[in-house]
């Protein structure tokens, strides 16, 4: 029989391992984004007739009107995946830590859950799916000349519409429903059949949690096409906002307040076009 003190010691150790693992994963993703941004700067992104093609070894400049190759699509997709890992892992940490704690307690009782990595992997799998859609959107927006070679909005009408839509979404019932699932990890688990002992079940519930997170934040991620996909201030600001609206008691108030600001900003841009 494991004593309460020994159990708490084991749980603290496991918590430290998970926290360090998530922190390392997040820092590696951010390090890649920062490195890629530096490569873009050194590659001469100020040239209006060129665009950046991301790759694992740096940023190459190619003619803006040249069609994407299959390799370029895959590499852009990888860039989005890594960026989403860096932005979304911190906000998923509370849920992952709860899973790890319950998993250790279950293991001590002889009823182990699947490894925490399966749950976290399912969550990131959902954001990988979003990254695929974001890559397709980037390709389409580039072909429509709605984003610049810096991968930011090239049109005030487009930028205004995205800002307004993102702000309005913050007030929708769907946003409320998805955010509630993200803010109450234990209630989410209880609503979806509890913790799972098999790897596929654990992966599945992590994926479901990730889908709610995508449903909560997808319009916010669309704002990257306004401020710039490689704009570090914009990326960091969105990541911090997502974290605050999920983990703070006033998350709903913060969410709706920012929604109003986005609507106002978008309306200002659209008005400036009319004048």
Q: pLDDT-based confidence at 1, cuts 50/70/90?
A: very low
Q: Taking the model in full, what pTM does it have?
A: 0.85
Tens of pLDDT, residues 78-133: 889 999 999 998 888 888 888 877 767 766 776 777 778 888 899 999 999 999 99
What is the residue range of 124's domain? 4-274
Contact call for residues 72 and 136 (beta carbons, < 8 A): no
Note the Cα 33 to chain centre separation in Å: 13
Q: Residue 2 pLDDT more than 90? A: no
Tens of pLDDT, residues 190-208: 787 777 778 898 899 899 9
- CA–CA distance from 35 to each of 41, 54, 62, 213, 267 (Å)? 10, 11, 19, 27, 35
How much is the pLDDT for 198?
83
Q: Which of 5-9, 19-23, 98-102, 236-240 has the lowest mean pLDDT?
A: 5-9
Rg (CA), the chain: 21
How much is the pLDDT for 261?
95
Tens of pLDDT, residues 137-177: 988 888 887 887 667 777 888 889 999 999 999 999 999 99
Domain count, the chain: 1
Q: Residue 64 pLDDT more than 50? A: yes
CA angle 248, 238, 221 (to 5 degrees): 115
């Amino acid at each position: 029989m494991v004593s309460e003190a020994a159990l708490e010691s084991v749980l603290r150790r496991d918590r430290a391992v998970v926290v360090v693992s998530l922190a390392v994963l997040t820092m590696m993703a951010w390090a890649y984004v920062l490195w890629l941004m530096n490569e873009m700067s050194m590659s001469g992104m100020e040239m209006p007739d060129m665009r950046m093609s991301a790759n694992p070894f740096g940023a190459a400049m190619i003619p803006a009107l040249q069609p994407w190759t299959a390799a370029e699509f895959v590499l852009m997709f990888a860039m989005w995946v890594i960026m989403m890992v860096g932005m979304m892992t911190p906000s998923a940490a509370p849920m992952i830590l709860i899973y790890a704690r319950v998993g250790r307690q279950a293991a001590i009782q002889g009823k182990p859950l699947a490894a925490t990595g399966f749950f976290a992997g399912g969550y990131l799998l959902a954001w990988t799916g979003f990254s695929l859609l974001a890559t397709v959107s980037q390709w389409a927006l580039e072909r429509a000349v709605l984003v610049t070679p810096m991968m930011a909005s090239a049109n005030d009408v487009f930028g205004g519409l995205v800002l307004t839509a993102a702000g309005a979404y913050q007030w929708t019932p769907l946003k409320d429903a998805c955010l509630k699932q993200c803010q109450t990890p234990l209630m989410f688990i209880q609503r979806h059949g509890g913790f799972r002992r098999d790897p596929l079940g654990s992966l599945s519930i992590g994926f479901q949690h990730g889908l709610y997170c995508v449903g909560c934040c997808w319009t916010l991620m669309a704002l990257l096409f306004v401020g710039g996909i490689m704009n570090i201030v914009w990326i960091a600001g969105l990541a911090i906002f997502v974290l605050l609206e999920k983990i703070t008691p006033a998350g709903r108030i913060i969410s709706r307040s920012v929604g109003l600001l986005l609507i106002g900003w978008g309306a200002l841009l659209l008005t400036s076009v009319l004048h």
